[in-house]
């Protein structure tokens, strides 16, 4: 099992996680994915890549270092993004009852292992 | 060497990754030490290529050195990163004016005025330029001698960090009902304009307008993302940086509330603060309409 697959496996084991992807932030393309049916990986990658880019620039505008973790919360669940090295971002789409605290910790740890 | 420059040089030597290069290069530029200013700004740009301030600073230095093409490129880079940066819009307008392209100069000044209608210097520059005239045919502009002195109001140096208009608290603002006042809170409209609140970066310089400009259209983008992923309407975006926690939440259909606090404050508390501030902003927006 590759490092990327191990990372995705760890994240998708967290209760409530519907799927996880590794994306390239700059172009919003999927590098690897592990998704439940009904989750559109390409849309998740493109939309999250764009949002991450904007929020990185926002942090720069406030003279902050780039964010390590981003959480977009909606009525019916959330998109979580942990920024890794080399422009890679670990993304998870989670349901409304997901254990967000555990997902965050797993993702921060797992993102640091991406290469 | 003045104490000011000595102090900034020492600070930059102690913390090479800090933003002290902005102040140091600007101080050197003002003293006419353009080579030194260029060197400091170049080092800072290498470290912060995504910082619009750094490109803006480099443009001012290059302009002072007479490298107008280089200055134009640097201001264009600043505008790419921050399309509503009035200093860069004024700078580009100034360069077009120098080249005799008054229509293009006017266009940039008008855009700057839209971003900051209270900036008297932009109004003065527009008044000096007069009604927009068609640009001369190609080739004529190059042959036209540049004005000996550009309108002082649009001199790029007039918008240096040291002279930037501070983000003063409004007499009656959207966060009057929030404990702790408007520090670290921003209300941003869909165009990326700051409606109220204040945000300062680590050195304490106003950062609200820069942050607001990056957030133009963020509400639409977040709404699109949650809708396409079947997550319903968006509630919050939380951003964890080693330097701070930031929460965005919609205050109305057209505005976004930003709450920023130091990283030591748990994200849950920043979210609560953002929700309180959004309620206050909503009430204020209703009063205004």
A50: nearest CA partner in chain B = B221
pTM for the complete prediction? Answer: 0.59
What average pLDDT does the segment B249-257 reach? 94
- Asked if the Cβ–Cβ distance from B211 to A58 is below 8 Å, we say yes
Q: Is the pLDDT of residue B240 over 90?
A: yes
Instruction: Yes or no: say if B201 and B19 are a contact pair by the CB < 8 Å rule.
Output: yes
DSSP 3-state of B16? coil
Mean pLDDT, all residues of chain B: 80
pLDDT exceeds cutoff 70 at B30: yes
Residue B150 CA to residue B99 CA, distance in Å, equals 11
Distance from CA of B35 to the nearest CA of A (A): 26
B81 CB neighbours in chain A (<8 A) are 57
Residue B151, pLDDT > 50, answer no
pLDDT (mean) for B89-106:
83
Mutate to test the interface with A, among B20, B240, B247, B271 (most CBs of A within 10 A): B240
| Number of domains composing chain A | 1
Q: What average pLDDT does range B67-76 have in this prediction?
A: 88
Contact present, B152 and B127 (Cβ < 8 Å): no
Average the pLDDT over B193-205 and give the result.
83
Token readout for A37 is 């049916």
Q: Is the pLDDT of residue A8 over 80?
A: yes
pLDDT band at B144 (very low <50, low <70, confident <90, very high): very low
Average pLDDT of the residues in B133-162: 35
Least confident of A58-62, A101-105, B134-138: B134-138
The pLDDT value recorded for residue B271 is 94
pLDDT for B69 equals 84
pLDDT reported for residue B132: 47
- Looking at chain A, the whole-number percentage of residues with pLDDT higher than 90 is 78
What ipTM was assigned to the predicted interfaces of this complex? 0.95
CB atoms within 10 A of CB B139: 8
Contact A79 B225 (CB under 8 A): yes
Q: Burial, B28: exposed, middle or buried (Cβ in 10 Å; 0-12, 13-18, 19+)?
A: buried
What chain B holds in terms of domains, given with CATH numbers, is 3-163 (1.25.40.10), 185-288 (3.30.450.30)
Mean pLDDT, chain A, rounded, equals 93
**Cβ A60–B48 below 8 Å, yes or no?**
yes
Between B169 and B35, whose confidence is greater? B35
Q: What pLDDT, on the 0 to 100 scale, is given for residue B161? A: 34
Looking at the complex, report in whole angstroms how far the Cα of residue B1 sits from the nearest Cα belonging to chain A. Answer: 28
Quick one: pLDDT at residue B139?
34
Q: What is the pLDDT of residues A61-74, one digit of tens each?
A: 898 999 999 999 99
Which pair of structure tokens corresponds to residue A88? Answer: 């890679």
Residue B165 has pLDDT above 50, yes or no: no
User: Is residue B51 classed as helix, strand or coil in its secondary structure?
Assistant: coil
Is any Cβ of chain A less than 8 angstroms from the Cβ of B204?
A: no
Average pLDDT over residues A5-32: 93
The pLDDT value recorded for residue A1 is 67
Residues of A in contact with B236 (CB under 8 A): 71-73
Provide φ and ψ at A43, rounded to 5°: -65, -45
- Which CATH number goes with the domain that contains A19? 3.30.450.30
Specify the higher pLDDT residue, B137 or B91. B91
Res B9: pLDDT: 87
Give the domain extent around A50.
Answer: 3-112
What does the DSSP assignment read for B94-121?
Answer: HHHHHTT-HHHHHHHHHHHHHH-TT-HH
pLDDT band at A26 (very low <50, low <70, confident <90, very high): confident
For A61, the token pair is 């505008």
Question: Which chain A residue lies closest to B262 (C-alpha atoms)?
Answer: A64
- Of residues B45 and B201, the one with the higher pLDDT is B45
B151: part of which helix (H) or strand (E)?
Answer: none
> For residue A9, what are its two tokens?
């496996």
pLDDT in tens, B98-130: 777 788 888 888 888 877 777 778 887 888 777
| Higher per-residue confidence, B30 vs A57 | A57
Instruction: Tell me what pLDDT residue B121 has.
Output: 80
B232 has a pLDDT exceeding 80? yes
Q: Which tokens go with A111? A: 């993102």
Q: How far apart, in whole angstroms, are the C-alpha atoms of residue A114 and residue B9?
A: 38
Angle (nearest 5°) at CA A84 between A93 and B265: 75
pLDDT winner (highest mean) among A89-98, B35-44, B59-68: A89-98
**Amino acid B131: pLDDT:** 60
Beta-sheet pairing, A77-83 with A69-74: antiparallel
Q: How confident is the model at residue A57 (pLDDT cuts 50, 70, 90)?
A: very high
C-alpha B4/C-alpha B25 separation (Å) is: 12
Q: Decide if A63 and B202 are in contact by the 8 Å CB cutoff.
A: yes
């Amino acid at each position: 099992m590759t490092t990327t697959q191990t990372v995705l496996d760890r994240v998708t084991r967290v209760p409530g996680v519907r799927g996880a992807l590794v994306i390239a932030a700059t172009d919003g393309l999927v590098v690897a994915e592990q998704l439940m049916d009904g989750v559109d990986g390409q849309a998740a990658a493109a939309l999250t890549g764009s949002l991450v880019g904007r929020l990185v620039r926002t942090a720069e505008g406030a003279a902050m270092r780039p964010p390590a973790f981003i959480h977009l919360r909606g009525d019916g669940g959330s998109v979580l993004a942990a920024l890794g090295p080399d422009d890679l971002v670990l993304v998870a789409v989670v349901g409304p009852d997901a254990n967000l605290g555990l997902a965050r910790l797993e993702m921060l740890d797992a993102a640091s292992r991406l290469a | 060497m003045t104490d000011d420059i000595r102090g900034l040089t020492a600070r930059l030597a102690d913390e090479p990754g800090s933003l002290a290069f902005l102040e140091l290069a600007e101080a050197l530029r003002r003293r006419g030490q353009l080579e030194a200013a260029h060197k400091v700004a170049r080092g800072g740009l290498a470290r912060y290529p995504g910082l619009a301030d750094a490109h803006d600073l480099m443009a001012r230095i290059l302009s002072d050195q007479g490298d107008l093409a280089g200055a134009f490129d640097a201001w264009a880079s600043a505008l790419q990163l921050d399309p509503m940066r009035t200093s860069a819009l004024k700078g580009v307008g100034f360069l077009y004016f120098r080249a005799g392209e008054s229509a293009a100069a006017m266009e940039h000044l008008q855009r700057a005025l839209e971003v900051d209608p209270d900036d008297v210097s932009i109004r003065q520059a527009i008044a000096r330029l007069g009604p927009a005239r068609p640009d001369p045919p190609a080739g004529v502009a190059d042959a036209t001698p540049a004005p000996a002195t550009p309108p002082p109001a649009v001199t790029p140096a007039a918008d240096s960090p040291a002279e930037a208009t501070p983000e003063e608290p409004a007499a009656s603002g959207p966060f009057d009902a929030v404990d702790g006042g408007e520090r670290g809170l921003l209300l941003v409209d869909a165009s990326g304009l700051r409606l109220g609140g204040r945000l300062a970066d680590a050195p304490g310089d106003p950062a609200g307008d820069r942050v607001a400009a990056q957030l133009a259209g963020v509400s639409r983008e977040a709404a699109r993302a949650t809708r396409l992923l079947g997550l319903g309407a968006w509630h919050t975006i939380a951003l964890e940086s080693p330097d701070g926690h930031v929460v965005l939440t919609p205050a109305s259909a057209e505005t976004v509330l930003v709450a920023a606090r130091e990283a030591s404050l748990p994200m849950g508390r920043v979210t609560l603060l953002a929700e309180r501030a959004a309620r206050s902003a909503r009430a204020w927006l209703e009063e205004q309409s």
